[in-house]
Amino acid sequence: MNRILVLLSVLLMLAITQLYAQNPTRISIKGIVQDTNSAVLADATVMLLSPSDSSLVNFGNANEKGVFEFRNVKNIPYLLKISYVGFLPYQQHLTPSPTAINDLGFIKIKPISQELLEIVVKTAKAPLSIKGDTIEYNAASFKVPPGSTVEDLLRKLPGIEVDGSGNIKAQGNDVKKVTVDGKTFFGDDPKAATKNLGAETISKIQVFNRKSDQATITGVDDGSKEKTINLELKENFKKGEFGKITGAVGTSDRGVLRGNYNRFNKKEQFSVIGYANNINETGVNWSDYGEFKGNNTFSSFDNGDFGFGSGGDAFFIGGDDDLLSSFNGKGFTNNLGGGVNYNYTHDKTKLSTSYVYNQTKLNLDQNQNKRTFLQNGSFSTLDTSSTVSFRANHSISGRWEQMLDSTNTLITKANLRFSNSNSAVGTRQEYINNNDALQNRINLNNSSNLNAYNLNGTAIFRHKFKKVGRVFAASSSFVRSTTDGTDNIRSLTQFFEASNPNDQIRAIAQLNQNANRTLTLKAGLNYLEPLSKRFFWENFYNFSNNQQNVGRDAYNGLIETQRYDSLSTYYENRITYNRIGTGLRFNKKGINLSLGVAALRYDLSGKVYPTEGGNLTTQISKQYDAIVPNFTATFNPQQSTYIRFGYGINVNAPSISALQPVIQNTNPFYITEGNQNLNPTKSHDVNLSISRFNQSNFTSINLWMNYNYYLNQVVYNQTVDANLVTRTRPENMSGAESFRTNLYSSFPIIKTKWTTNLSVNYNLSNTPTLVNSVLNTTNSNAYSANIGFSITPSDKIFVTLGGNYSINNIKYSIETRQNQNIISKGLNIDAKWSFIKKTFLESSFNYTGYENDRFNFSQNIPILNVSVRRLLMKDNRLEARLAAFDVFNKRQAITQTGSQNFVTYQQAFTLARYFMLSLTYNVRGHDAKLKKNNNMF
């Protein structure tokens, strides 16, 4: 049996060898390309492909007689392909040739219907896919009005006819079947799909001959074919949505409810978001904010303040709402908020609208110790205060960006806000004089109520001229805001050093009614002219007019009809600003130089009346002119190396509050008064930055420096009387300077596993102020250093370690004995560990120490947070987390500042230890990754 098999095999092999031996190994393949009318197609492209994967083996062109020849090619199976403009690609399978020359003779190729070629390929620029006898159309290339059905779309396609009752013919044959993504839709009636489906849901239309059902079932090809249309659905039309909801309960009545939901398709994004908590989340985090605003999170070209390089395509983050959490670490808050957002982006239109509401109730208890230095000693103020406040905001925003045509763009934005707030502050303040004796004590009980509305709008228009580089832009904007409020001031002051009993105690009860109206109008023009390939000439003009009307009526808090005329006022301030500038820019291969100059004028005018509609008591009118230069240079000598140097003079108008000629006596020991005579502040600004990133070893180094010298700076000069009452008034003073520098570097110690970053800062400032008419210069030298490591030993563990130290040495020229060092130091360790699949242990430890040698103060705060979370359900849709916050119950907010002629140390109570269990359901499932989830909560 075996022997027979062997014999047969040998015979078979011999036969095969024999068979192949007859075929030459190398052959020539030739033929003549013609169209169906036997006309020669000269220059046709002829390709030999491998039949298994269509890969290109060889190619050539037919000559002017349509003749082609491949010489000396391997004698293997080929797929011959011929292409010619206006003809359907021709394909023919070639088997190994028994002769040395495989002459294919005349090859006739079919033209593409003129209609198809003109309309589909040339006009609509749509790819036309030809697969055997299937022709595929790209639906997006055929414009139909929104809301059209597939039937309307089919009417537009060349080669397809749809009659009045919806019957379809393709290339003259009745279409028997319409499928959607290859599946039969609504039974056998082809019209069911075409009449019911929206045209916008379709990405492709394929027309082909399909074997009849009979042939498909029996497997016997009876040769009868049916014209069939297949509709392919758009990928992104398959409904998109995501969202999540979190509920949490904790000890000491802590609770959180938070959720967001988004729906989107290619053109539209719709989202809702909401939150409620009492764990000091005053808004949503950055990640959720981004999801809420969608593709409107960043918007460019929104700056209409042109001049010296600004007003370009800088990105602006966020909008006018207060949705982002911005808790400053002090007190206890109850928060509630939410909003809806809608974005529409299509072709040349980008529209975004949103409504946001948020409210926060704050309970804050804090202590403050302030030491003030005078020319002959110092005094201390000890405050204990308790605040209860509430604020609520409604904000409606819209942004519309429209490319009017290829050269004109218009951006418009508007925002309307309503807000109301009220607060009640109870403070006990004690004044300790130079001899460590209690001199005064004051008990303050102030409450206030405020209603505000603000409407602002901006329009920016840009035009690009035909000449490349010539650009014109114009902008205008307005802000209208109104605030109305009342302040209720109650205070009781005890003067312990007064000898006269009448002077030993003083009580104030006052009611202020305030009304502010502000209107700001702005406009800008910008024109960029290319002088040559390297030189550009930039011109700009800015205008703004700010008009403010402020009225305040002060009454006796006990007898509300008794008006205090000395504390009441009505005034109008108007600041008009005009700036015109010109500059020359040069640029060449990474070198950009810009030199410019601008002339500006401020017109300040103020009118003071005793009451609205009263007789003018004071009038001030001032004009301020300045010529300011500007120079910037940037160098980009190597890939990833940037150097920038800039010098300019900045001129800033005094703030409206500094100009207000109103006495603020909410604290009778700290009385401020505005100054209508203020001039704008002028500052020389020099800056330098160098950054370099070495891409091959991932080392980056950045250095920046900034120096400012101020002329006519607005400073708050002080007069302190024997009763330790401070009167402060803003005045212009020259000579202040500041220098800041930072060096940052980051480099890997072990690539992809261990990265180190280092940062060193030095800030110097010299600030002059008058204290009781004596010049005091406060000199501050602050040094700080940071080091951090981020370590990823495996996919399952991620650790960051860091340490920082900062020291601020402050010297006061009027009282050198009070020179002091404010020190803060910290250490932090964060670790995340995925110890079981889908289960994560996350902890962070933060140790901060505060010291002040003068105050003899030293406090250390260790904060430890630990949590365990586990992902559950299919696709990790549910996340359960058990967390312990501030395990040692030590959290409080400490602030140390020293400036002018004082130093303060502030301690505020806030949310400390609590435990919380939370559940989060995510529609799309949670990320089962360690690294990216770095939000503790």
Nearer to another protein, 347 or 405 (CB): 347
Question: Shortest gap between Cβ of 587 and another protein (angstroms)?
Answer: 4
Nearer to another protein, 43 or 181 (CB): 43
Question: Shortest gap between Cβ of 62 and another protein (angstroms)?
Answer: 7
Nearer to another protein, 18 or 532 (CB): 532
- With 0-12 CB in 10 A as exposed, 13-18 as middle and 19+ as buried, what is 910? buried
Nearer to another protein, 74 or 817 (CB): 74
Question: Shortest gap between Cβ of 28 and another protein (angstroms)?
Answer: 10
Do 261 and 272 touch, CB atoms closer than 8 A?
Answer: yes
Nearer to another protein, 107 or 471 (CB): 471
Nearer to another protein, 51 or 849 (CB): 51
At which residue do the structure tokens 């110790």 appear?
A: 369
Q: Which two tokens stand for residue 719?
A: 């007069």
Helix (H, G, I), strand (E, B) or coil at 16: helix
CA–CA gap between residue 399 and residue 415 (Å, rounded): 9
Nearer to another protein, 634 or 839 (CB): 634
Residue type, 80: L
Question: Shortest gap between Cβ of 285 and another protein (angstroms)?
Answer: 13
Nearer to another protein, 271 or 378 (CB): 271
- For residue 520, the tally of other CB atoms under 10 A from its CB is 16
- For residue 399, the tally of other CB atoms under 10 A from its CB is 20
Nearer to another protein, 469 or 614 (CB): 469
Question: Shortest gap between Cβ of 465 and another protein (angstroms)?
Answer: 11
Do 513 and 552 touch, CB atoms closer than 8 A?
Answer: yes
Nearer to another protein, 657 or 694 (CB): 694
Question: Shortest gap between Cβ of 140 and another protein (angstroms)?
Answer: 13
- With 0-12 CB in 10 A as exposed, 13-18 as middle and 19+ as buried, what is 695? exposed
Question: Shortest gap between Cβ of 701 and another protein (angstroms)?
Answer: 13
Query: For residue 267, what are the contacts with CB-CB under 8 A and spacing of at least 6?
Result: 344, 345, 346
Half-sphere exposure of 150 (CA within 13 A, CB side): 27
Question: Shortest gap between Cβ of 234 and another protein (angstroms)?
Answer: 14
Question: Shortest gap between Cβ of 598 and another protein (angstroms)?
Answer: 17
Do 528 and 471 touch, CB atoms closer than 8 A?
Answer: yes
Do 73 and 30 touch, CB atoms closer than 8 A?
Answer: no
Name the nearest CA neighbour of 339 among 360, 322, 314, 364.
Answer: 322
Nearer to another protein, 77 or 86 (CB): 86
Q: How far is CA 689 from CA 633, 706, 882, in A?
A: 11, 9, 45
Residue type, 493: T
- The greatest distance separating any two alpha carbons of the chain, rounded to the nearest whole angstrom, comes to 139
Question: Shortest gap between Cβ of 756 and another protein (angstroms)?
Answer: 15
Nearer to another protein, 417 or 926 (CB): 926
Name the nearest CA neighbour of 314 among 299, 295, 324, 328.
Answer: 299
Question: Shortest gap between Cβ of 643 and another protein (angstroms)?
Answer: 11
Do 788 and 802 touch, CB atoms closer than 8 A?
Answer: yes
Phi first, then psi: what are they for 47, rounded to 5°?
Answer: -125, 145
Question: Shortest gap between Cβ of 89 and another protein (angstroms)?
Answer: 6
Nearer to another protein, 141 or 368 (CB): 141
CA–CA gap between residue 464 and residue 528 (Å, rounded): 10
Phi first, then psi: what are they for 229, rounded to 5°?
Answer: -115, 130
In this structure, the strands spanning 160-162 and 183-184 are unpaired
Question: Shortest gap between Cβ of 924 and another protein (angstroms)?
Answer: 6
Helix (H, G, I), strand (E, B) or coil at 712: coil
Query: For residue 349, what are the contacts with CB-CB under 8 A and spacing of at least 6?
Result: 400, 401, 402, 403
Torsion angle of alpha carbons 175, 177, 182, 185, nearest 10°?
130
